[in-house]
Amino acid sequence: MYKFSASAHQSTTHLHSNLKPPKANQTLKTYLTSNCNAKAILFFRQLLRHNPSSIDSFSFLFVIQACTKTPFSLEGQQLHANLIKFGFHSVIHLQTSLLNFYSALGNLLYAHHVFDEILSKNTISWTALISAYVVNQKPQKAVELFQKMQMLDVEPDQVTLTVALSACAHLGALEMGEWIHAFVRRKPELMADAGLNNALINMYAKCGEIQTARKLFDSLGEKDVTTWTSMIVGHALHGQANEALGLFGEMEEIKWKNSKNKEEGNRGSSTILPNDVTFIGVLMACSHGGMIEEGKKYYRRMVDYYGLKPREVHFGCMVDLFCRAGLLKEAYNFIIEMPGQANAVIWRTLLGACNINGEIELGEKVKLQLQELEPGYVGDSVAMSNIYAAKGMWDKKVEVRDQIKQLRRAPGCSSIEVASEISEFISGDDDHPLKTEIYEALKYLTISMKAYDYSLQISSLLEF
């Protein structure tokens, strides 16, 4: 449970019995906007004890938002109980705030339960639930809820559509994304929404329709940093390094021209500065394009010129850059010199490169690092087994294989969109309602491939 500081406690001693609701709510709102969430909660507790008549539904709203921002799990659940005692459990803006609170905790069961209790569900409450599933990495459920929302004739707004497009991007659900785009085209007021256009660019890029994404990008008059970044990242994801870096060059040229106009006293568009996400796209482009020196240059430019602090994802991009070029020792030295401890993903990138390049000694050093970070991850042992097998070190391979048998693998998962319906498949799972038809289709494909003399090459596969 959160322990409040003495200074926070002292700030509440001025309460007295004739405190009026507007003043109490204004104080709560001030704490909330100042990001003093603990003080807001403590102030509310004092109201409960000394002046409960000063509390209204807006008081609860401010405190629930304070619990969500931090988040304070226990305090938020206590607020939920008090909210019911005060008879505010059916106030829709409070129910929606509670839904957001449980979403912030990652408790989708409670979030959905709160949603089910809302008697008159509106666009905002539907959007909150869909967003909860997107934020907590359940995009398929989010799309299903969006479809259900349409069936119930609840009109989505630009926020709903933006969240739904994010789910489509995660799933690669192009048909649903195109349906949303068609819906937006029929609503002129939505076409002007920058956030929605950015979400459409991101969706098309991540669903493989990079030309459609670029066409939409080029058609937009006003572009913000997210618009530019979405397109740069899209090109980078598709291995189009020159296009990504060319676009970044255009972005910097516009920034330079606008800065010059301001110096000369001319009116112009506001300067758009690249952010740390923009540089993720730039570094990814360099990595996929094998542009080692360019990658180093842009990394230094991000830090020295723009003053942006690299995050783990930027470090990961640089390690990937070195690994793709076969510069494994340089990648290792970069990781060692990183501020703070590298995460398992970064080390795993290097281990994968050791596997491809047959680097046993370095691979073993990396495996030891991963053993400390995630000792039970099977994939690391599989990679080392492959390295030993490629070098003919069969005793070592058998030793690692025996270790793998004691570990449990996480089942693989994939999804496919057919006629706007998304089906998810887990390795070894035969519970799909159309499994008979699916296996018949697979059988037909196998027969067809054999007819064309196709044979599966299994020389690179290991048997465990």
pLDDT digits (tens, 9 = 90+) for 395-443: 888 887 777 665 555 555 666 656 556 666 665 566 667 778 777 787 7
| Cβ–Cβ < 8 Å for 366, 360 | no
Q: Among the listed ranges 82-86, 322-326, 394-398, 453-457, which one has the minimum average pLDDT value?
A: 453-457
Own/partner long-range contacts of 454-461 (Cβ < 8 Å, ≥24 apart): none
Residue for token pair 């100042």: 34
Helix segments in 5-72, DSSP class H: 6-10, 21-33, 37-50, 57-69
- Structural domain includes residue 111: yes
* Whether pLDDT at 230 is above 80: yes
Q: Whole-model pTM?
A: 0.77
**Exposure string over 356-367, b if 16+ CB within 10 A, otherwise e:** eeebbebbeebb
Q: What is the pLDDT of residue 16?
A: 39
Q: What is the pLDDT of residue 406?
A: 58
Q: What is the pLDDT of residue 154?
A: 94
**Interatomic CA distance for residues 66 and 32, integer angstroms:** 6
- Structural domain includes residue 167: no
- Structural domain includes residue 82: yes
- Structural domain includes residue 107: yes
Mean pLDDT of the chain: 85
| Cβ–Cβ < 8 Å for 46, 12 | yes
Within a 10 A sphere around the Cβ of 52, how many other Cβ atoms? 12
* Whether pLDDT at 266 is above 80: no
Q: Which residue has the higher pLDDT, 370 or 405?
A: 370
User: What CATH number is associated with residue 88?
Assistant: 1.25.40
Looking at the DSSP assignment, which residues form a beta bridge with residue 421? 418
Q: Which residue has the higher pLDDT, 42 or 380?
A: 42
Percent of the chain with pLDDT over 70: 83
**pLDDT tens, 29-85?**
999 999 999 999 999 999 999 889 899 999 999 999 999 998 899 999 999 999 999
Q: What is the pLDDT of residue 451?
A: 72
Domain count, the chain: 1
* Whether pLDDT at 251 is above 60: yes
Residues 6+ apart with CB under 8 A from 244: 232, 233, 235, 236, 281, 282, 284, 285
Burial class (CB in 10 A: 0-12, 13-18, 19+), 230: buried
Its domain, for residue 12, covers 1-120
- Structural domain includes residue 22: yes
**pLDDT tens, 168-220?**
999 999 999 999 999 999 988 888 889 999 999 999 999 999 999 999 999 99
- Structural domain includes residue 267: no
- Structural domain includes residue 255: no
Q: What is the pLDDT of residue 18?
A: 43
Q: What is the pLDDT of residue 419?
A: 53
Omega of the bond leading into 71 within 30 degrees of 0 (cis)? yes
Average the pLDDT over 93-105 and give the result: 95
Q: What is the pLDDT of residue 161?
A: 97
* Whether pLDDT at 377 is above 90: no
* pLDDT confidence band for 7 (50 / 70 / 90): very low
- Structural domain includes residue 109: yes
**pLDDT tens, 101-124?**
999 999 999 999 999 999 999 999
Q: What is the pLDDT of residue 422?
A: 64
